[in-house]
Amino acid sequence: MREIIELKGHIIDSMILPRVLDTIMDMGGDFEILELRVGKTKTDESYCKILVEGDEKIFEELEKLGAILPKKEVRVSPAPADGVLPDGFYATTHHPTYVYINGQWKKVKHIEMDCVIIIEDGEPVCRRQGLVKKGDLVVIGRDGIKVEAPQRPRKLDIFGFMTSDVSAEKPVNSLIKRLAEEMKRVKEGDGFIIHVVGTAIAHTGADGALAELIRMGYCQALFTGNGFAVMDIEKQLFGTTLGMDKDTGRVYKGGYRNHLVAINEIRKVGGIRKAVESGILKSGVLYECVKNNVPFVIAGSIRDDGPLPDTITDVMKAQDEMRRYIWMADERGGMCMIWASMLHGIATGNMLPSTIKTVIVDMNPYVVTRLLDRGTTHALGIVSDPGVVLPMLVQELRGEGYVESEY
Amino acid sequence: MREIIELKGHIIDSMILPRVLDTIMDMGGDFEILELRVGKTKTDESYCKILVEGDEKIFEELEKLGAILPKKEVRVSPAPADGVLPDGFYATTHHPTYVYINGQWKKVKHIEMDCVIIIEDGEPVCRRQGLVKKGDLVVIGRDGIKVEAPQRPRKLDIFGFMTSDVSAEKPVNSLIKRLAEEMKRVKEGDGFIIHVVGTAIAHTGADGALAELIRMGYCQALFTGNGFAVMDIEKQLFGTTLGMDKDTGRVYKGGYRNHLVAINEIRKVGGIRKAVESGILKSGVLYECVKNNVPFVIAGSIRDDGPLPDTITDVMKAQDEMRRYIWMADERGGMCMIWASMLHGIATGNMLPSTIKTVIVDMNPYVVTRLLDRGTTHALGIVSDPGVVLPMLVQELRGEGYVESEY
Amino acid sequence: MREIIELKGHIIDSMILPRVLDTIMDMGGDFEILELRVGKTKTDESYCKILVEGDEKIFEELEKLGAILPKKEVRVSPAPADGVLPDGFYATTHHPTYVYINGQWKKVKHIEMDCVIIIEDGEPVCRRQGLVKKGDLVVIGRDGIKVEAPQRPRKLDIFGFMTSDVSAEKPVNSLIKRLAEEMKRVKEGDGFIIHVVGTAIAHTGADGALAELIRMGYCQALFTGNGFAVMDIEKQLFGTTLGMDKDTGRVYKGGYRNHLVAINEIRKVGGIRKAVESGILKSGVLYECVKNNVPFVIAGSIRDDGPLPDTITDVMKAQDEMRRYIWMADERGGMCMIWASMLHGIATGNMLPSTIKTVIVDMNPYVVTRLLDRGTTHALGIVSDPGVVLPMLVQELRGEGYVESEY
Amino acid sequence: MREIIELKGHIIDSMILPRVLDTIMDMGGDFEILELRVGKTKTDESYCKILVEGDEKIFEELEKLGAILPKKEVRVSPAPADGVLPDGFYATTHHPTYVYINGQWKKVKHIEMDCVIIIEDGEPVCRRQGLVKKGDLVVIGRDGIKVEAPQRPRKLDIFGFMTSDVSAEKPVNSLIKRLAEEMKRVKEGDGFIIHVVGTAIAHTGADGALAELIRMGYCQALFTGNGFAVMDIEKQLFGTTLGMDKDTGRVYKGGYRNHLVAINEIRKVGGIRKAVESGILKSGVLYECVKNNVPFVIAGSIRDDGPLPDTITDVMKAQDEMRRYIWMADERGGMCMIWASMLHGIATGNMLPSTIKTVIVDMNPYVVTRLLDRGTTHALGIVSDPGVVLPMLVQELRGEGYVESEY
């Protein structure tokens, strides 16, 4: 097929035009540039009109890069069965997306990558495959869809632009100071901060700092797994995490039993909230969540012991519970901070719209790269030890950060 | 408390006596060695009688190291509610364990670490906490329990003894040859080999070799996740894995859609077996499983797309399904091979009795160390690329392994 | 300052124009695009004329990106002392570079990044700082310098274009097949292949395959360190590497002594060549080098034992020795293959011109990324185990590569 | 050969007896235990007399484990040429070693692993092979040598005992507090602390904290490479490290030039000390070294740019310069702290006697394991980000460490 596409905005330095031409060539297509008006100065926008010839798949891809195709009504097809999509379904990106419906561009609600768009009561909504019901009107093809490709900010802050430039060799001390400022701004603007945490936060002793962040109002929702949740409780009851002494790091012989007893104590009373109410659980991260009305989602994994009554063992249900808070963060100009959590961190990253500011702190550069690679508009990856970064961040937020001596 | 304990066997070079003394000192106890008869030559067994004074916890720990305490009847207590354990429950190791019941030592069935022992119809059975029902008789305390501590084999093979000595700097080419010999022995003895595989097996192109292992009869059960399963299907349908071309490694623009379409095709027909029967799926690892009657368990995770109808989204149910095959491997002198699978590999490792031979091949030394660290009696960790080790292993099994030229 | 710059070629999809605009903005400059003619089809070249305003440093940077500044004679200044550069010296890139001298563009000889250009007998030559002599005419400023920015190849092969996209999740088996084909092409064209090897090649047992590569004519120079060289000799004399048995991987008690004895045996006769001649060394990688007239450079490092008499303990002299062979590879359309060698691999990477095809195989993604990050035009990074990739590559070159069975 | 050996001390829980039996079996020998008196309580020492039969190599190995062989005069042989050892030379361990000479046990001076012992004026001295001169009397065989095998301390502190148990999942915040206490004790006792630092210390911005440690008197010698040294200077002159802005982490276009200019500025004046004296260098780690009379050793490597005039390009000379300060640390009950330095850290680790307390902080568990694996008696490995641990440590030393809020 042959069709004329248009590109608008900062299309050259945001890499949109280069990536469009790249894509056409990679996918075996041909192009002719019919018109190109380049913004002459750095604030001017540019415009490009290109005649593209090639496979339908090329056009689908160009659209995801922000190419505007001729305005047409969106097309839909009913789902043939529960959880089954019609052929030719449109798979979403995590960028803001609009659907041309009844002669009007409408924004897709709850956008998330690798899902589909349903037209529900005339409104476009993003939905994961498993929740599609028989007869739902699923968007197909590529007509009437517009994706707002992220544009390079004219001014840079600590958040990089679609970069996967990840390295341990960064001025981490300086980044912590700037991150603290950014968090203060989000809090002042009534933003919604989600923290995703892995077991290393308990093992390293950074859980005290996390509890303090919650008390200080810098956490509106917490996502974690059964492992961290049990360790948090075990630490309050026995002073150990998986049997490792919280002060010396020495593994207490027979200490793994503490882990199992911690689970049993919570099972006895029926859950974490009840354990707080009944006075069994008197401190810790989950205790602070309960006391400060911060919702938490504990998602199950195949490695779990126990699990706790609060752990959602069905992974799809756990995802949907996490989505609820991601949507809140999206509405309130939120932020998502991922601390030493490969499994839950990547799971959360998959569900985030590209517009939510994302911070990842992990020792493993692979985890940081994987999360940044998704083309997030505002992302900060710090390859460092979350177990020491978190306390330093709290010190900064308290105004007690590290300052070099004057000599 | 003060009590006399006994140790028997190769207790010095198997590190049992040293670890017993170490444990007593670490946990603040005291000891007096009443008798020590050391095996004078390397095949003689040794005997030691020690008076130990200290906390009850010490005795619990010593027992796990193989110390024999005075013979007493085992004690039990009914579970107060479903999934709730009585106080003082005995937490299991993954070593062969015996219970003294009605004046007789009985072996605990399906032993697995961090679980409890139930007495069911007079027989001791190992059970995970979540499956304990109200009124089940749960073993408590430490009376009448005997753990068979693993003893250093008098002769060494490729499997190390309780070692976590893990390094990429090993003669991997030579180890592959020896591993092939070991697998042939297991197959000849009608053994049961479980393979646990991660997505890297599909990405690297080693899935062809895995399919061949199945056809050759070297796989009796397959454990994996939704990610690998979808990629295996995507590769047969589109020649890509997550949109990456299987030959060039180039990421096909818009290719992630292939992943979602692959899921949808299987959902249309209701599952993998039906996809094979209806001719939609004509090759690949899961195809070979179906054709060769090799059972597979696809365990869900919080990161999953779709998922496939065959994916067990409840992680506890998925664990129990995996246990069924682990028990078979245990009965038939089996082996467990873990290929590039951190999540499912560690989950499986947690459920294995210490007597099953375990092989782990992973690029990440952390994963290998974590799996070997559990004190497995026969374990081989190879820090290398499973994507190239697997094809080389198949070549060895076929008798076509790499041989240096004669010059 | 204000100046008009020009850009020519595939400047949009090779990312040259976007990076030029990016750079101006990042460095606080301003621009106005005076003319932009875009190649209308994928084979047409483009042209852009931009008025740039800003700091002198901006222009220096733009030039490195390939911007052509108004033609002026190059400027030089004499070095004030041995090893000391005149202020304002021009620091090189590793891309082909031309100097406008006496009204003519002349290509800089032996180009290498982070060095300077000397005008010697009217010819521009690249030189490292330490070798600059008092009075040498060193190029200063940015007049009369033209850098040939690498352009995206219109057709893709296994070598990526300036990419640092590095992942273990690549179809390594397929890449090995294609790499073998590429090596055959280089050999047929009388190319010059440099291999840089680390100690893992000896430990893993891939040294046999490397020896075979040498015999087969796929190695024209070998760079390594004292560690690998000693292990190669130790293995021929004792069958161990650092005391680890070459077949079982078991560390032979007291085996480190073998390493020291191996060094002593070579010291006794005065060097590796003499050890081959006198019949002490009868096989191995270095033996094959001597027998096949393949030069080797053994560069010293602060960790070395011994060292061998052949080890160049002065690191600057070792660099210069390596440069000699890099220049040969540059002239003969060569290739550089880096196997499990972080220290020597990165050192070599720093000295390579961007036009030499580079292959890096390493378990550590960090090493691979670091080497690819230098903006090499033709680079292939494989995150896998060099210890198994090397034998598989030899099998492919022999025509005995892994083939899936037909069923 | 057959011989009776004796073992004394805490030989069971220090793993000496088990390792002796293990070694005999591994090396194909046989044993008969003639006498074994076990310390009955935890403070009593034990005694064992064993008849060992086997290869001479076994006895050499047993001796390194602390076995006492029948008292005989040490044997020596003259070195046949400079840098060449006599056959049968004794290779050292890094444990305290005694030589039986003229009927007396004498302690070997400057003990270091993988070297030889020379008898010089009747005194045993440890020497590296390269420094052995023709005619030097080199100890051969195993007669008259006694190695003091490290014994498990009866009381544990933060330093582990010969452990390579390395994990990121440790209570790092608590360990930092304890490490600060330990450093205060060393300083009060007029100890000698060597810091070995890599480039990450400059990149992450922890160099300010290191400079402060020097001012506070916690650094008596600094070992580093040309890379860190140049960055330290570049940062004072330009505010960048390899062109990366020290505050934002953004890589300044064309910034690598700063690195080369920094080298040139120091070359102009002839060295770092002169640059401090002449007022060119006004701050930074090396500035503080000069101002506080802390010696530094900058060892060259094959990757170096420049290098600085202070860089010792001959690696063997650099080693010997480092040895001088290691001997001082050994005499003054010193400590060695290795920060993010793989190359120089491992090189230093190879030269340390086992009795010097060693602390390694590195993101890479491999580096930490490799350094701890050497059987050091007092070692603490922290797998964390040195870039944040170092500032936190300074805060602790200042008495401003992180304290959780009271609520």
Tell me what ipTM this predicted complex has. 0.87
pLDDT interval class at A6 (50, 70, 90)? confident
Query: Percent of chain C, pLDDT > 70?
Result: 92
Average pLDDT on A378-395 reads 91
Largest Cα–Cα distance in chain C?
A: 75
**Mean per-residue pLDDT of chain A:** 88
Smallest Cβ–Cβ distance between B33 and the set D26, D38, D366 belongs to D38
Mean pLDDT computed over B18-23: 80
Give mean pLDDT, residues D267-295: 97
**Greatest Cα-to-Cα distance within chain B, rounded to the nearest angstrom:** 75
| Nearest CA-CA distance, residue A16 and chain B, Å | 14
Lowest-confidence range among A146-155, A328-337, D66-75, D155-164?
A: D155-164
CA distances from C74 to B80, C69, C84, C95 (A): 90, 12, 20, 18
Tell me, what's the pLDDT at C392? 93
Q: Find chain C residues with C-beta within 8 A of B158's C-beta.
A: 248
Q: Please say whether the beta carbons of B159 and B357 come within 8 A.
A: yes
Report the number of secondary-structure helices (H) and strands (E) in chain B.
13, 18
CB atoms within 10 A of CB C230: 28
For range C356-365, the mean pLDDT = 90
Residue D164 has a pLDDT of: 45
Residue C164: predicted pLDDT = 45
Helix (H) or strand (E) holding B4: strand B2-9
- The pLDDT of residue B284 is 97
The whole-number pLDDT of residue A164 equals 45
What is the distance between the alpha carbons of residues B176 and B171, in angstroms, rounded to a whole number?
A: 9
Cβ pairs A/D, distance under 8 A: 144
Cβ C316–D313 below 8 Å, yes or no?
Answer: yes
pLDDT of B163 higher than 80: no
**Structural domains in chain B plus CATH codes:** 1-69 (3.30.70.2690), 71-151 (2.40.420.10), 172-398 (3.40.50.10690)
Summarize pLDDT for D308-365 with one digit per residue, the tens. 999 999 999 999 999 999 999 999 988 999 999 999 999 999 999 988 999 999 988 8
Mutate to test the interface with D, among C315, C322, C371 (most CBs of D within 10 A): C315
Question: Considering only CB atoms, which chain B residues are within 8 Å of D22?
Answer: 13, 152
Looking at the predicted structure, is the pLDDT value of residue B150 above 90?
Answer: no
Q: Do A385 and D172 touch (CB under 8 A)?
A: yes
Inter-chain CB proximity D253 and C27 less than 8 Å: yes
Q: Are C139 and C119 in contact (CB under 8 A)?
A: yes
Q: Are residues C208 and B404, on separate chains, in Cβ contact within 8 Å? A: yes
Tell whether the model's pLDDT for residue C15 goes beyond 80.
no
DSSP A133-186: PTT-EEEESSTTEEE------SS--SSBSS-----S-S-HHHHHHHHHHHHHHH
For residue A218, the model assigns a pLDDT of: 97
Q: Among A12, A18, A41, whose Cβ lies nearest the Cβ of C32?
A: A41
pLDDT band at B29 (very low <50, low <70, confident <90, very high): confident
- Please report the number of interchain residue pairs, chain B to chain C, with beta-carbon separation below 8 angstroms: 144
Sequence letter at residue C195? H
Q: What is the pLDDT of residue C23?
A: 81
Provide the mean pLDDT of chain C: 88
pLDDT of residue C168: 61
Judge whether residue C101 has pLDDT over 60.
Answer: yes
Segment D295-318 shows an average pLDDT of: 96
Q: Is-cis flag, bond preceding B171, omega within 30?
A: no
B266 vs B368, higher pLDDT = B266
Within an 8 Å CB–CB cutoff, is residue B346 touching chain A? Answer: yes
Predicted pLDDT at B271 = 97
* Chains touching D, CB cut-off 8 Å, 3+ pairs: A, B, C
Report helix, strand or coil for A118: strand
Q: Percentage of residues in chain A with pLDDT exceeding 70?
A: 92
With a CB-CB cutoff of 8 Å, which residues 365-384 of chain D face chain A? 383-384
- Smallest CA–CA separation between C40 and chain A, in Å? 5
Alpha carbon A126 to chain centroid distance? 16
Contact present, A334 and A378 (Cβ < 8 Å): no
Which residues 6+ apart lie within 8 Å of D104 measured at CB? none
Cβ distance of D302 and C319 shorter than 8 Å: yes
Whether D15 sits inside 8 A of B15 (CB atoms) is yes
Q: What is the pLDDT of residues C129-151, one digit of tens each?
A: 999 999 999 999 888 898 887 76
Q: Which of B18, B41, B156 sits opposite D30 (nearest CB)?
A: B41
List CB contacts (< 8 A) between A41 and chain C.
Answer: 30-32
> Which A residues, 134 through 153, put their C-beta within 8 Å of a C-beta on chain C?
152
Give yes or no for B307 touching A (CB within 8 A). yes
Query: Which helix (DSSP H) or strand (DSSP E) does residue D299 occupy?
Result: strand D296-299
Phi, psi of C244 (to 5 degrees): -90, 130
Phi-psi region of D346 (alpha: psi -120 to 50; beta: other; left: phi over 0): alpha
What single-letter DSSP state applies at residue C281?
A: -
Tell me the pLDDT band of B191, cut-offs 50, 70 and 90.
very high
Q: Name the B residues in 165-224 with CB < 8 Å from any C CB.
A: 168-176, 199-200, 203-206, 208-209, 211-212, 215
Give pLDDT tens digits for D15-56: 788 788 878 877 778 888 787 777 777 677 888 888 888 887
Average pLDDT, chain B: 88
Q: Is A269 an interface residue toward B (CB < 8 Å)?
A: no
Band (pLDDT 50/70/90 cuts) for residue A71 is confident
Is the pLDDT confidence value at A374 over 70? no
Q: Is C282 on the interface with B (CB under 8 A)?
A: no
> Highest mean pLDDT range out of C21-35, C153-167, C284-298?
C284-298
CB-based contact A204 D394, cutoff 8 Å = no
Chain C contact for B363 (CB, 8 A cutoff): yes
Partner-chain contact B343 A344, CB within 8 Å: no
Split at pLDDT 50, 70, 90, the class of C167 is low
Q: Distance from CA of residue B317 to its chain's centroid? A: 18
Rounded Cα gap, residues B285 and D142, in angstroms: 58
Q: Does B27 touch chain A (CB under 8 A)?
A: yes
Assign residue A9 a region: left if phi > 0, alpha if psi is -120 to 50, beta otherwise?
Answer: left
